[in-house]
């Protein structure tokens, strides 16, 4: 049975229809679509066309391309064809359309091409009548290979793939280039300063570690300027240590609360600091001894205390105890959101999301507490500078 495709003008208005081979022999402008699939790592899926195809057999191209049929909705046609060729079901979005003309052997491709993108992380089930093989490829590697081996790729793919990669929707879909980001931020700001000069100091004295622990509580819903005032009050009163906090609360909890009043929510924070200091002294005797406990147990211990959630616990673990856990806060969330890394990800501050984002950073970075400290601090510095 002969396949008929839709003939159009330069505005994609239907002019009629024609048998597929006849249309390509005469180079008639016709309607087509091309689908580009990316995974969560920002890699593009390539399809190697079946060698039995009537043209461009054995060449590499985008995940799927074809011609919609007359009288059918384009949105239905693209989904149907992608499933027929690659066994893939996913959401697709049209990003642009363009006209191209290219000689392919004895035929002429002259198409008004509608270009769609989609995200898929599974394994396709390819139709061997349509595709010989498939693979994921990094966009930078792809650009280099097309440049070195242009004959491996279809004519239309070489014309359009760079336009696809230049689209903002695609750029923002790539994974966070965290190593590159760190280098750029370090070049821009240098070693973290201000509050971070102490928090990122290596090594720290025992008293400095205790100050970071206290600061991790005081920074909750507070700007650092006010936290600095509270820290200064504690130092003046001789209470800027774990033992000092405990003794000051026992002696006069109201007076202790007033010392940290500049940080806001001071009565709650005073209670949190007392509970934390009592716990550390009773179970570990000192922050230095805490360092000897395993990471998982330490984190569970901290999270069991009133007023300590994942962000505060991980700040203590990373900055006071030099443990390689990446801290997720509003600035790291904003970074992920601005890159549109996972569009389906809700930005609600829930535990599931916290663990997901933490895993994302830790999987894409070398496991080094020094790198984690500096990068997290620089992300905040950069976020506040905007």
In this structure, are residues 256 and 249 in contact, taking their beta carbons and an 8 Å threshold? yes
Helix (H, G, I), strand (E, B) or coil at 227: helix
| Residue 327 to residue 342: CA distance in whole angstroms | 19
CA-based end-to-end distance of the chain: 62
Encoding tokens for residue 288? 């230095």
SS3 46: strand
Please give the backbone phi and psi of residue 297, each rounded to the nearest 5 degrees, phi first.
-65, -40
Helices (H), 136-241: 139-148, 155-166, 168-171, 178-189, 195-199, 206-218, 224-236
Active site residue 166: no
Residue 111 is among the residues annotated as catalytic for this protein: yes
Backbone φ, ψ for residue 366 (5° rounding): -65, 135
Catalytic residue among 65, 109, 200, 240: 65
- Kindly state the tokens that stand for 107: 């035929």
Would you give the distance in Å from CA 180 to the centre of its chain?
14
Residue 234 token pair: 């504690």
Active-site residue identified among 43, 85, 109, 111: 111
User: What is the CA 189 to chain-centroid distance, rounded?
Assistant: 23
Catalytic residues: 65, 111
């Amino acid at each position: 049975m002969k396949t008929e495709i839709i003939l159009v003008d330069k505005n994609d208005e239907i002019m009629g229809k024609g048998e597929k081979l006849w249309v390509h022999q005469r180079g008639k402008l016709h309607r087509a679509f091309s689908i580009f699939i990316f995974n969560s790592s920002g890699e593009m899926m390539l399809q190697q066309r079946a060698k039995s195809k009537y043209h461009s057999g054995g060449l590499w191209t985008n995940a799927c391309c074809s011609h919609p049929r007359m009288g059918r909705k384009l949105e239905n046609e693209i989904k149907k064809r992608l499933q027929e060729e690659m066994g893939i079901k996913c959401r697709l979005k049209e990003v642009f359309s363009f006209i191209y003309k290219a000689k392919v052997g004895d035929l002429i491709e002259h198409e008004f091409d509608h270009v769609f993108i989609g995200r898929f992380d599974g394994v396709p089930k390819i139709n061997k009548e349509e595709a010989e093989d498939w693979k994921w490829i990094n966009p930078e590697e792809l650009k280099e290979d097309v440049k070195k081996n242009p004959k491996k790729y279809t004519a239309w793919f070489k014309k359009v793939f760079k336009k696809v990669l230049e689209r903002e929707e695609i750029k923002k879909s790539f994974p966070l280039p965290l190593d590159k980001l760190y280098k750029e931020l370090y070049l821009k700001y240098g070693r973290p300063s201000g509050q971070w000069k102490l928090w990122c100091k290596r090594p720290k004295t025992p008293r400095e570690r205790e100050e970071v622990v206290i600061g991790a509580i005081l920074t909750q819903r507070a700007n650092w300027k006010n936290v600095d005032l509270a820290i200064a009050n504690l130092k003046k009163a001789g209470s800027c240590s774990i033992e000092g906090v405990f003794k000051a609360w026992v002696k006069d909890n109201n007076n202790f609360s007033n010392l940290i009043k500049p940080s806001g929510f001071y009565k709650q924070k005073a209670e949190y600091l007392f509970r934390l200091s009592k716990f550390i002294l009773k179970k570990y005797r000192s922050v230095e001894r805490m360092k000897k406990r395993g990471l998982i147990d330490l984190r569970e211990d901290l999270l069991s205390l009133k007023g300590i959630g994942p962000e505060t616990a991980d700040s203590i673990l990373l900055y006071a105890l030099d443990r390689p856990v990446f801290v997720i806060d509003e600035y790291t969330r904003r970074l992920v959101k601005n890159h549109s890394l996972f569009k389906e990800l809700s930005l609600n501050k829930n535990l599931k999301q916290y663990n997901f984002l933490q895993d994302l950073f830790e999987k894409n970075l070398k496991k080094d507490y020094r790198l984690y400290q500096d990068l997290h601090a620089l992300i905040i510095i950069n976020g506040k500078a905007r």
